[in-house]
Amino acid sequence: MVQAVVERLREDDTNTLCPNPETVYVFARDELYKGGSHSHHLFEESRGEFFDKEWLERKSSDLMAMLISLCASKDTCAKDNFLKEYQAQLSVALLKHQQYSTEKIRLEKMKQRLGESIENATVMINDMENSQRINKRIYENNHQWPMSFHGFILSRHSWIDPEEEEEKEPTMALTPLCLEAMKTYSSEYSRVQPSRSLRWLPELGRVNLTLEFKSGSLDITVDPIDATVISHFSSKDIPWTADSIAKKCGVSLEKTMKSLNFWEEQGILKMTNTGRFQLVKE
């Protein structure tokens, strides 16, 4: 439910859920925080519930406000549930599509509705803007630096849930070219930001690939895991099991299967009758 609500609200760029600006509903603090009072409601003893006709009419005229209210659960307030999912979807949008100007406009609309700033989301968008400036400075300092490689500098506690974060080093087997680029970038970054250090999260990145075949080429943007998986398929005559690819790439079997299925959907790989994967075309 919460995922669907947030997705619908984020994509409402034309304000179809509330076309009249005069009817925009701004939540009161006690509607968004668990344990808040309901003093603005009237209590109807005969019905045994809070009821305020004027309040309900104002809220129901704004479908966005009504949808946000649906995010409340038995143990968690609407605001906490909504913002957690909003942050999750925002991170995917920023890292995959990098359209932070659009997300900035959407965020301002959310601030208006919730009557306050959304700190983590604001930091996330600022990170994208700052990363663009840092990438430019790194390239200006080192003209040999490939402009096709960009780093996104993410504020640790705004992007990653501390309860879910793992401190272990990533195990994904990256190509030597990528490892060298990361090493050089870290060195240049330490000159631009002397007081800070980087910890790479390669699985969150994006890779622009050009796959060359005898029949033509395919330009596609994929996750690093997808790029690493397909890099091991160089000939139609060499099929791979999912387990072998997982060990080669240094990722879980579950993630490997997801990637293999992705390339199968793209018409690049196929599964043989022996359960192995191979290229469809040379």
Pairing of strands 269-271, 207-213: unpaired
Bridge partners (DSSP) listed for residue 44: 49
How many residues make up the chain in this entry? Answer: 282
Planar angle of CA 156, 162, 165, nearest 5 degrees: 85
CA–CA distance, 172 with 249 (Å, rounded to integer): 6
User: 216 in the Ramachandran plot: left (φ > 0), alpha (ψ -120 to 50) or beta?
Assistant: left
CA–CA distance, 177 with 104 (Å, rounded to integer): 34
Q: Which of 221, 222, 228 is nearest to 172 (CA)?
A: 228
% helix, strand, coil for the chain, step of 5: 50, 10, 40
Asked if 125 contacts 176 with a C-beta cutoff of 8 angstroms, the reply is no
What pLDDT is attached to residue 37? Answer: 39
In a 3-state reduction of DSSP, which class is residue 221? strand
CA–CA distance, 80 with 73 (Å, rounded to integer): 10
The distance in angstroms from the start CA to the end CA of the chain is 44
Residue identified by tokens 């700190």 is 119
Q: Which helix (H) or strand (E) holds 226?
A: helix 224-230
- How is residue 232 written in tokens? 């091991």
What pLDDT is attached to residue 141? Answer: 77
In a 3-state reduction of DSSP, which class is residue 117? coil
What pLDDT is attached to residue 48? Answer: 43
pTM value is 0.71
CA 126 to chain centre: 15
- How is residue 171 written in tokens? 């195990």
In the DSSP assignment, the letter for residue 204 is: G
Classify residue 147 as exposed, middle or buried by CB count within 10 Å of its CB (0-12, 13-18, 19+). Answer: exposed
In a 3-state reduction of DSSP, which class is residue 191? helix
For CA atoms 79, 84, 85, 90, the dihedral sign is positive
What pLDDT is attached to residue 204? Answer: 85
What pLDDT is attached to residue 80? Answer: 75
Digitized pLDDT (tens) for each residue of the chain, 282 residues in all: 788 878 877 777 666 665 565 666 666 656 655 443 343 444 444 444 444 555 555 555 566 666 676 665 666 676 777 788 888 888 888 888 767 788 888 888 778 767 666 788 889 999 999 998 998 888 887 766 666 788 899 988 888 654 455 555 457 888 888 888 888 888 889 888 888 888 888 888 888 889 988 888 889 999 889 999 998 887 777 889 999 999 999 989 999 999 999 999 999 999 999 999 999 876
Q: Which helix (H) or strand (E) holds 148?
A: none
